[in-house]
Amino acid sequence: MQSNKGFNRSGYCADFNMDNIGQTIKVMGWVNRSRNLGSLIFCDLRDRSGILQLVFRQEKDEELYNKALELKNEYVISVVGRVNEREDKNPNIPTGDIEIECEELKILSKSDVPPIDMAENTPTKELLRLQYRYLDLRKPSQQKYLLKRNEITSIVHNFFNDNGFIEVETPILTRSTPEGARDFLVPSRVNKGKFYALPQSPQLLKQLLMISGLDRYYQIVKCFRDEDLRANRQPEFTQIDLEMSFVEIDDIIEVNERFLKSLFKKTLDLDIEIPFRRMPYNEAMDRFGSDKPDMRFSMELKDLSDILNDTDFQVFNGALESKGSIRGINAKGAENLSRKDIDKLTDFVKDYGAKGLAWFKIGEDGISGSIAKFLSEKHVELLKERLDGESGDLILIIADKNNVVFDSLGALRVEMGKRLDLIDEDKYEFLWVTEFPLLEYDEEDQRYYAKHHPFTAPMDEDIEFLESDPGRVRAKAYDIVLNGTEMGGGSIRIHDSDFQERILKALGFTKEAAEESFGFLLKALKYGTPPHGGMAYGLDRLVMSITNTENIRDVIAFPKIQSGICPVTDAPNLVDPAQLEDLHIALIKKEENNDNE
């Protein structure tokens, strides 16, 4: 290992250009590629900023040239040399007009042959890339995500600092509370049998900060939820979290629209028009089957229940009898889809709970399809009018309980938008979805749960229905949606202790259970709590949108895989039994099933 003492660099590779011609500089980085042309060696030096061409000439310095012959890909080197103009300029890189005539070379670290291909855009299994994530991150294509993430967090700090917000760090070791996702638990060594929980969000703590009088808080904070992974979800994630006192919904939306306008201007040079559109939750579900609708294309859902309530098709009748609905979309111009294609769409909606997919095509001479024989001429005319149907269109229909219809048909709408190339990928459509239900009923548990969380305030005009018709109560809640993805959400909070107890009671908490789980909050609310509200963004999802990637793992330095494992460190791992003893934990070994018994 060679020391780098006294060999400090002059700058990054991309810092140099034609203005530096004739200067002697010191640069360092990794060997991206080395090419031996006989008496001449060209070496591409790479650092996080880009690539710079180095030149070693045998006729000028035999010893230096021989040392350069040792260079292999991914060696770490330092060089001193003179900036010259290149004869064979490369317009594809920022430093393509210059090269470094090398005068000194130090090999700071050698490298084994990397287990992954270090060239850009080469097919490598993702798991292998993630196992050697520290190598994969050397690629400019991967570094760009983390560099953009850094830019975004810098903008966050600057914006909220400039708008009167105070950054406060809240604890990572906190208490477990019900009414959320599964917690990650941390055993306490000094408090035998007790556990901390890693925070799913700083929700209650930031409310306490409003009681403290800080007025405007923000934080870029790690959060943890023990949930199954998917393309845009990790067990640990980062939130841009904020809270404000003495506000209502419009105040919070106004600040956040200005933030998003600033963010997209500074990162993408995109001028976003504000204010954004707003849409109540019920309207979003009725029109798009989703509380995060992609507004870049139309193809809206239409309720067909009143038209199809008298057919002989048992699926339709059964849906209506169970108080469900029949809804459809018009895939305009999709008459050419084959039966095989439609069968694939049927399999697609089954993943969202639908039992099947009804469909028919509109042709010049009438209709054809799976339900054509059940439809009278009157049905067809009414359906064509409701769905704006014309020759060449494909009508797709789902009948079931409303939640199944919305989930499956809403997802199918997006799938058809992609298949029919209706989505402008260069378009950014923001939408506030508002007036969410405060509570939602779980048929299996036969009780109400909070749609967002139990600390959300109801709409003033709906409070009277809290006990008599809880499902009717709307919340002062709002989500910000971008191109069909929820970027963040929040609500106005309850700032009265007695009313908070009333909400907890509506959720099935006894007075004792409420005190056990949320007693610290109920107590704090009694000491002069200002009206307050806030929201949180998923930083990872924001970075995904701005960098136009569909995989959350791209924007996280060391992500987990589907099973929750870190491929680099192999966490979670077994620990020494002595550590478990210190934590007062005993593992129970389950007996394996014996097939012979």
For the stretch 571-597, pLDDT in tens is 999 999 999 999 989 888 876 655 544
| Residue 489 token pair | 């959400």
473 and 408 part of one domain: no
Q: In CATH, what number is assigned to the domain containing residue 182?
A: 3.30.930.10
In a domain, 334, yes or no: yes
Task: Give yes or no: residues 324 and 394 share one domain.
Answer: yes
Per the structure, how many domains does the chain have?
3
Same domain, 393 and 458: no
Residue that is written with structure tokens 């060449």 in the block: 392
Examine residue 275 and say whether the peptide bond preceding it is cis (omega within 30 degrees of 0).
yes
> Residues 105, 160: one domain?
no
What pLDDT, on the 0 to 100 scale, is given for residue 5?
67
pLDDT-derived band at 209 (thresholds 50, 70, 90) equals: very high
pLDDT tens-place string over residues 98-113: 999 999 999 999 999 9
Based on the domain organization, do 376 and 439 belong to the same domain? Answer: no
Tell me what the mean pLDDT of segment 535-541 comes to. Answer: 96
CATH, residue 33: 2.40.50.140
Which residues lie below 8 Å from residue 477, measured CB to CB, with a gap of 6+?
Answer: 434, 435, 436, 438, 451, 452, 456, 489, 490, 491, 492
Query: What global pTM score does this model have?
Result: 0.92
pLDDT at residue 447, rounded to an integer: 87
CA dist 458 and 466 (Å) reads: 9
At residue 442, the pLDDT reads: 86
Token pair in block for residue 318: 């059964």
- Look up residue 19 and give its DSSP letter: G
Tokens of 486: 């929820």
Residues facing 222 on adjacent strands = 238
What string of DSSP letters covers 352-418? TT-S--EEEEEETTEEESTTGGG--HHHHHHHHHHHT--TT-EEEEEEE-HHHHHHHHHHHHHHHHH
| 542 and 419 in a common domain | no
Q: Do the domain assignments include residue 125?
A: no
Across the chain, mean pLDDT equals 94
Domain end, chosen from 91, 109, 127, is at 109
pLDDT of amino acid 178: 77
Residue 7 has pLDDT above 70, yes or no: no
CB 451 within 8 A of CB 438: yes
What is residue 330's predicted lDDT score, i.e. its pLDDT? 98
Residue 564 included in any domain: no
Residue given tokens 């694939």 in the structure block? 344
Residue 65's domain comprises 13-109
Does residue 322 share a domain with residue 306?
Answer: yes
- For residues 164 and 260, state if they share a domain: yes
Domain assignment present for 115 = no
275 and 155 in a single domain? The answer is yes
* Same domain as 28, residue 70: yes
- Roughly what angle, to the nearest 10 degrees, separates helices 339-350 and 402-419? 140
- pLDDT digits 0-9 by tens, 452-466: 899 999 999 999 999
The answer to whether residue 284 is domain-embedded is no
* Bridge partner residues of 100 (DSSP): 54, 83
* Separation of alpha carbons 214 and 218, rounded Å: 10
CA atoms within 13 A on the CB side of 383: 31
Same domain, 435 and 524: yes
